[in-house]
Amino acid sequence: MFYTVELVLKSYMPRQLEPGMWFITKLNPGTRKEYTEIWALDKTPSQPLEEFIAIYGAPVEPYLIYDEQVIAEPHEIGWWDSGPDYEDLRDIELKDINFILEEYDGYVDIQIDEWDFAHEEELNPIIYAEKVTLCIPGTYDEDDDDEWEDEGDDDDEYDEGKDPFFDHMDDDSWK
């Protein structure tokens, strides 16, 4: 089961800059085409830490939040599910994060434990290989599953009484 949560970027002050750290850039500020882009350091900058942060801002880390509760921390953000047409999960990439921020205002679906949610009303993500699984909101909506199951012709449904395999068996023949 997937549930929609919010991807939030929190800034922090590092002791030193390292490759892979994420930063935010606002593109086209003050226009209708304004948007935020996340980028990562590809190498350690030659500038001192304070100077770099004065220009580019502090680095950020992603968190998944629901109802003011942290559902997943940066080290758990993880797997990307491209949808039911794809078998494999892949590591989430910056392009996925930017897509979520731009197209879905930071909302993303996370795979959760269905039993916990139904019985204890807790939102516990399923962790596979120390990472949570994310996808585009609505990819696995239950309404879509119900429509799929409801489609089809009623005449095509399996009827045990009409199957020739069962015609020659009485009720006790399976014992």
pLDDT tens by residue, 146-162: 444 445 545 444 444 45
Tell me the pLDDT of the chain averaged across its residues.
Answer: 84
Q: How far apart are CA 92 and CA 40, in angstroms?
A: 14
In a 13 Å sphere around the CA of 21, the CA atoms on its Cβ side amount to: 22
Q: What is the pTM of this model?
A: 0.75
DSSP state string for 8-28: EEEE---SS--TT-EEEEEES
Q: Residue 103, SS3?
A: helix
Q: Does residue 87 form part of some domain?
A: yes
Is residue 68 within 8 A of residue 52, CB to CB? The reply is no
**154 domain residue, yes or no:** no
Q: Which structural domain range is residue 51 located in?
A: 2-148
Confidence band, pLDDT 50/70/90 cuts, at residue 143: low
Residue 70, domain member (yes or no) = yes
Q: When comparing pLDDT for 20 and 115, which is higher? A: 20
Please check whether residue 68 lies inside any domain of the structure. yes
- The model's pLDDT over 73-83, given as tens digits with 9 standing for 90+, comes to 999 999 999 99
Q: For residue range 52-92, what is the model confidence (pLDDT) as tens digits?
A: 999 999 999 999 999 889 999 999 999 999 999 888 999 99
In-domain check, residue 161: no
Please check whether residue 93 lies inside any domain of the structure: yes
- 155 inside domain: no
Reply yes or no on whether the pLDDT at 44 is more than 90.
Answer: yes
Tell me whether residue 41 is in a domain.
yes
Residues in Cβ contact with 155 at an 8 Å cutoff, skipping those fewer than 6 apart? none
How many domains does one find in the chain? 1
Q: Which amino acid is at 50?
A: E
